[in-house]
Structure 1
Amino acid sequence: MSPPPAAVIEPSLGVLPDAAPSVIRDTQLRRQAFLAVIMAAMCIGFSAPLVRLADAGPAAIGFWRLFFALGPAMVWAYAEHRALVRHARRAGVTALRPSLRQVLLAMLAGLFFGADLIVFHKGLALTSTANALLLGNLAVVFVFVFGWLILRERPTRGLLIALVLALTGTLIIIGSSALGGGQAGSRPVSVTGDVLCVGAALAYASYMLATRAVRRAGRGDAVPLGGGMVSLVASATGALVCLGWAVASGETLIPQSLQGLLAVIGLGLIAHATGQGLATFALGRLPAGVISVVLLLQIVVGTTLAALLFGEFPSLVVLLGGLLVVAGVTTARPN
């Protein structure tokens, strides 16, 4: 899945002025950011293949993924805190404690993110990698739908076009699973798996809205909750959610082979920590819409790896539906 949106992970301290970089320096940073977001998409694209290689339960895989990402998150949060303290001293700010509401909202975000991992991993076990990645990236469209239905934000013409394209592509993909013989290359597919991946997109959209709420909660505080601490709290909460579900459902908790262990370590360090970290670097220097579109490269990376490693070759019908889904997601994303 995609990393957190820009509104979530940009650390800031409202009372502190930002230094204005030179034009040349700004151009260099933008080039670096563009390369970073391409690398981020490649790292995130390893998620689905690594989940296939991890021989543990779906929720257990989510737990290990978040567990191995906690170390980098702690380093990020600590470095961020030290920077905030240093700048706060210069600005004469003494209170650096986040509000209880901010922490609770970050925990709610982690709950939704843990649910996203559980449902996505379950869906991935029942359908093809291409179907799972295409349907999982509907989250951005759902964010706009929630804004329309819950926040009463008036839908734009672009949103309506995005909905038509994305939902048409979704119906084509799910219909292909129902009528196409239940096979995609060497991987069985099912409507149940496709629907679960759509559910994962809904859970991730809820995570995005919850993390936006974290930033809103910090607007009136002297110290908004920074991206590093949001990531740490959300990851820790999500890990507990996944662990609790895995234990309650009797899943296999420990990877059964060296391959499985390396796969979950890779999920934590490559797909989650590195992919998210590179996207975080880019989000401060490029428009969120540009980054979001480039991150769709993860679909190409994931499906290509699945074809090479597992012989999963999507059908022409799925490719057609996928093009409509990508077109819908691209149309829905902000410029």
Structure 2
Amino acid sequence: MSEDSAHIAARMVTPGKGLLAADESTGTIGKRFKKLGIECTEQTRLAYREMLFTSPDLEKYISGVILFDETIRQRASDGRPIPELLAEKGIIPGIKVDKGLVDLPFFPGERFTQGLDGLADRLDEYRRMGARFAKWRAVIAIGEGTPTSQCLRANADALARYAGLCQVHGLVPIVEPEVLMDGAHDIKTCRWATEAALHEVFDALVRYRIVFKDMILKPNMVLSGTDCPRRAPPDEVADMTVACLRRTVPAAVAGIAFLSGGQSDTTASANLNAINVKAQTMKTPWTLTFSFSRALQASPMAIWLGRPENTAAAQQALIRRARFNGAAGLGQYDPETEHAA
């Protein structure tokens, strides 16, 4: 990897900034649009994402945007390619490169991420289009007897092979092993599963000779399951998450950008803030920031509704949310200030 890649990785986790994950598949964004009565066409998807990307001052709080294959190939209303539009604002364009989930044979309830076939050629194409980093998501479910060691190994190996291809082809890899919130498990179970997943991932990354300073880790926060009777408060989430990272993540990793994983926007901000306060106390070696999708987009999408006249209000909602998350990434988010605003 070149020094340029290390520089890009460092920029992606600039303190006070984070990543906007706008890489929802056509099916996923279609479901979200349908709930709000928005027609889902190539034109409406472009209009929505252009609304997000052209928000005034977005670059103050967003360092990079993860794009979907359709979006990286599109042009804004003024004719500029979407990656160029972002780059001119000082925002780094990135691309989701995995091909989604398939069932892991003989392991009921567990899934595997596909997309390694032909990946080298796709990475070269995306780099020519302007992408400077990539993302690959693995999914780990907690349930009766899961996750199994084989599921963890299979997904870790794929993540490592993907990361190696990225580094060879000049893109910074975001490595995303997501332990899902779905289930009635408590926060201690989530910590166990997250530690197990991260141990397997970094073991594989070492075996595949990945350069840690030129990659970003995108993990889940350690949380109670969505159906758990007791939801852990931010201080406990912070204690568990920071302890987990200190046991599993090498200091050389360029930075850590948490996924929101289905949390509400305010809950994700509160938990990110508590994690950073705890990390500062423990003097952890990484920048801890965000790479959120729904926790950044829920409010602007609900305001926009596919209507041009709502663009300014939707953009204001995005900037407000991004500003709060930027503050949380510094350990300076105050929920009371948000409520007052």
> TM-score scaled by structure 2?
0.29
Return the structure number with greater strand share.
Answer: 2
Highest relative contact order (Cα 8 Å, sep 6+), 1 or 2?
1
Larger Rg: 1
> TM-score scaled by structure 1?
0.29
Return the structure number with greater helix share.
Answer: 1
